[in-house]
Amino acid sequence: MKNAPDADFLIFDLGNVIIDLDYNRAFDLIKSEVPAIHHSKVDVFYLTDFHKAYEKGEIDSPTFRDAVRTYFGQLWDDQKVDELWNSILGKIPQKRLDLIAKLKDKYQLAVLSNTNAIHIDAVYEMLKTDHQMDRFEPLFDRIFYSHEMGLAKPSVEIYESMLTELGTTADRVIFFDDLDANVKGAASIGINAIQVTGPNVIFDFFGHV
């Protein structure tokens, strides 16, 4: 291992760290389903209050689906809403899971992800279909999902809550996330935070163990 840092926990975001995401594909698909007058709404979809509330578990999936239908003025059934919502999800490359499995021999590992019930159900289905795994628990010691915690990155509170649950301190954690704001949020309380700006970042960090 090229870089074997002194840490108690390695913490990984899911989107664009473990799971590929494609925002443009999702936006283009939604735009193909709504009148042009609503296309501007697509671009700010992830900034809506109801999306932020869903991400923190403040509303349930049926309420979120109703909010999506209202927002776009459509009568989509639940399956259609989920299909559009999940179109952002790409694949989970096997080599990333292999890296996590190797790191587990030397470190305690955790996930910290801003996510929601609809996405996680789809991700677990992908894990089962593509990798014969039911959930992430075989690979990670702890799983922290925003919608279960009632908190979301980049708020300081979510990092502090995670550290408390892990029973460790900020200086004993290395955190990998694709978004600059989330990296800065973690770094603000002393966590060693690494921004994942491309598919090879985590492999380069650990020297392709």
Tokens read off for 67: 């909010």
Within-domain flag for 2: no
Q: Which of 86, 116, 133 is the last residue of a domain?
A: 86
CATH number, domain of 128, equals 3.40.50.1000
Within-domain flag for 1: no
Counting the structural domains of the chain, the total is 2
Q: State which residues of the chain have pLDDT below 70.
A: 1-4, 208-209
Domain hosting 188: range is 9-20+92-206
Amino acid 209: pLDDT: 56
Amino acid 2: pLDDT: 55
Specify whether 100 is located in the same domain as 171. yes
Within-domain flag for 71: yes
Specify whether 100 is located in the same domain as 174. yes
Burial classification of residue 55, based on how many CB atoms lie within 10 Å of its CB (0-12 exposed, 13-18 middle, 19 or more buried): buried
Amino acid 207: pLDDT: 80
Specify whether 16 is located in the same domain as 101. yes
Length, in residues, of the chain? 209
Amino acid 75: pLDDT: 96
